[in-house]
Amino acid sequence: MLPRMEERVQSVSPSQLAALVRDIFVRRGMSETHAALVADVLVWAELRGMETHGVMRVPRYVEFIRKGDLNVQPSIRPELETAACVLLDADRAAGPVAMMEATRAACAKARASGIGFALVRATTHTAALGYYTQSAAREGFAAIAMAASTPLMAYHGARAAGVSTAPLSIAVPGEDEPLALDMASSVVSMGTLMQSRASGTPLAEGSALAADGSPTTDPRAASIPLPLGGPKGSGLALMAECLASLLTANPILAEALERTPESKHHKQNALIIAIDVGRFVAPERFREEVGRLVADLKRLPAAPGTEILMPGERGSRNAERQREALPIPVKLYEELKALSG
């Protein structure tokens, strides 16, 4: 977890924070169930140390509601269904609401067919994808999720933002907790850029471009993250758009790059694939083999001063450590209280 620089923080209990967030959305017309889910997903990310996907998103979600981009009473409909697939029109639902619906649908399809594929058209900020893949993994599924969003990251070779920082999450059941990879396709996240700006810490070379498209390490100038591994990261982000947005006939990048009226509205598309582990191998055997592999990797000689961690392990430790009390910036907490009052 990166420290929040130059910010006073206060301690809040996670359940109290979740109740506050839930109230904010209930006040704006969301059902108790949906509001509690949105709160759970955001507080989950906060607990795991992903503040950029935590409760700092709440004011933006409220703004989406105000502008009509987020529908608090969505009617999420399957537009198309096979024994293994579903395309859900999310009707501008809050991301967590649409994504959990999609996750449940993908898992149900996987239970019937071995694999299940849910496409989500026209949701809003999907929040931390790891929440959904881990929830599938806890039910015995391997899960792969991707989301498509607006151009924020440079396309490799370009001096401008062309693709999103498209996240990819893959989770499998583990011996205890799921193993859950949750990564962006950029070198650094937008959140890290913001934190560097706040603290004045120079960025590593190759992390970002300035608004004019020139490479920079100056944290005050950096505004466009560069793709992870050059063409690899931007290729991955391009594929996320092709799969999530073009299969749902709801393009985001082209609309934004062409500055069409449609692109003024916030929207995201996403997909989740679930695989029923037990269809292919005895689930306990699978979990044992994951445990065996984890133990083998942890026995490798570690680089000086480092510890060998599994995907999701740092997040789980953060969540455990912070389960009684979360540090929240005073200013943000005041803003949340004002929104709920």
Interacting positions 6-25 with its own copies (CB under 8 A): none
State yes or no: residue 280 binds its own copies (CB under 8 A): yes
Site of tokens 């582990």:
277
Q: State the Cα–Cα distance between residues 308 and 310, nearest whole angstrom.
A: 7
Nearer to its own copies, 136 or 163 (CB): 163
Using the contact rule CB under 8 A, the part of the chain among 16-24, 50-58, 304-312, 330-338 near its own copies is: 304-312
Using the contact rule CB under 8 A, the part of the chain among 65-73, 194-202, 274-282, 320-328 near its own copies is: 274-282
Burial of 307 from C-beta contacts in 10 A (0-12 / 13-18 / 19+): exposed
Cβ pair 65, 94 in contact under 8 A: no
Give, to the nearest 10 degrees, the angle between helix 32-47 and helix 129-138.
Answer: 100
Nearer to its own copies, 23 or 241 (CB): 241
Q: Which of residues 44-103 bind its own copies (CB under 8 A)?
A: 80, 82-85, 87
Looking at residue 318, the DSSP 8-state letter turns out to be H
Nearer to its own copies, 153 or 336 (CB): 153
State yes or no: residue 247 binds its own copies (CB under 8 A): yes
Cβ pair 223, 271 in contact under 8 A: no
Nearer to its own copies, 36 or 209 (CB): 209
Nearer to its own copies, 99 or 184 (CB): 184
Per residue, what are the HEC states of 191-254?
A: HHHHHHHHHCCCCCCCCEEECCCCEECCCCCEEEECECCCHHHHHHHHHHHHHHHHCCCCCCHH
Q: Which helix (H) or strand (E) holds 21?
A: helix 14-27
**Near its own copies by CB under 8 A: residue from 47, 99, 120, 310:** 310
Q: Which of residues 168-187 bind its own copies (CB under 8 A)?
A: 170, 172, 179, 181, 183, 187
**Near its own copies by CB under 8 A: residue from 44, 131, 141, 286:** 286
Q: Which of residues 117-146 bind its own copies (CB under 8 A)?
A: 117, 119, 142, 144
**Near its own copies by CB under 8 A: residue from 236, 319, 326, 332:** 236
Closest by alpha carbon to 124, among 249, 266, 250? Answer: 266
Nearer to its own copies, 38 or 179 (CB): 179
Least Å distance between CB 78 and its own copies?
Answer: 12
Name the strands in the sheet holding 222-225, side by side, starting at the edge strand that comes first in the sequence: 215-216, 208-210, 222-225
